Amino acid sequence: MVRLSVCIEMIFRELPFMDRIGAVADAGFPAFEFWGWRSKDVKAILKKKQDYGLAVSSFGVDPSARIVDYGTRNEFIKGVGDSVETALKLECSRLIVTTGNEIKGVPRETQHQNVVKSLKEAAELVEKTDVMLVLEPLNILVDHKGYFLYSSSEGFEILREVDSPNVKLLYDIYHQQITEGNLIATITENIGSIGHFHSADVPGRHEFGTGEINYANVLKKIDELGYDGFVGLEFMPLADSKEALGMVKRTVEAMR
């Protein structure tokens, strides 16, 4: 059965940040995730994680460098190294990487190769550990105008060029439904290159059942393909957080 992780940056926002971890456990989910770590109390997160018996499924490399610009590679590599140390403390095996916005006036192919070169250098660090970098495409039609990497197809191309078992894609179902659709076919064809999923319904980026995506079918296919990572719930609840997560549970039940 597919494993779900609650993004506590977007869900349970009515609670203080640290209290959201316990709320995840109370709601019956096995894992949580968050965005940047540098401004957070990592020791307190670790204690809460241990107290509630939860996993940390992912968080972001911090600082998030603009790796379309190879001039930022030193900042990026240092950020990866620091983030790997934090991931090992939290027993987390997925670190999210973003590309930054495209650079106007610079050929797209040059920026593409800058991303590849930066990730190849970072791969040398993470291949010494069990940590995986997951590169995230984001939609530019609604949420992230100007962002460089918007299609999963280019993301998978980058991964083939990097050629590391510790660098895969974060396939965000919400973003890719907006950008290119064809969700199940794309996931099926590329499941071996996907290291993490994010999810929300379209339009609005809300909980399952509020929009057009048939999440029961999508999650069923992910499960059938033998994916053993987490699917992150990264949505803005329309309903109360517990009620919204209840809708997710009902979707999972519909897979059976």
**Tell me, what's the pLDDT at 64?**
81
**Per-residue tokens: 143:** 């949420």
**Tell me, what's the pLDDT at 73?**
93
Which CATH number applies to 57-242: 1.10.3720.10, 2.40.30.10, 3.20.20.150, 3.30.565.10? 3.20.20.150
The CA–CA distances, whole Å, from 59 to 16, 43, 56, 249 equal: 18, 15, 8, 23
Higher pLDDT, 219 or 63: 219
**Per-residue tokens: 235:** 């949505």
SS3 content of the chain, % helix, strand, coil (to 5): 45, 15, 40
What are the structural domain ranges in the chain?
57-242
- Rounded distance, CA 137 to CA 135, Å? 7
Beta-sheet strands, E only, within the chain: 3-7, 31-33, 55-60, 94-97, 132-135, 167-172, 194-199, 230-233
Mean pLDDT along residues 137-161: 98
Task: Read off the pLDDT of residues 5-54 as tens digits, 9 standing for 90 and up.
Answer: 999 999 999 999 999 999 999 999 999 999 999 999 999 999 999 999 99
Task: Read off the pLDDT of residues 221-253 as tens digits, 9 standing for 90 and up.
Answer: 999 999 999 999 999 999 899 999 999 999 988
Instruction: Tell me how many degrees the CA angle 33-78-150 measures, rounded to the nearest 5.
Output: 55
- Rounded distance, CA 221 to CA 117, Å? 33
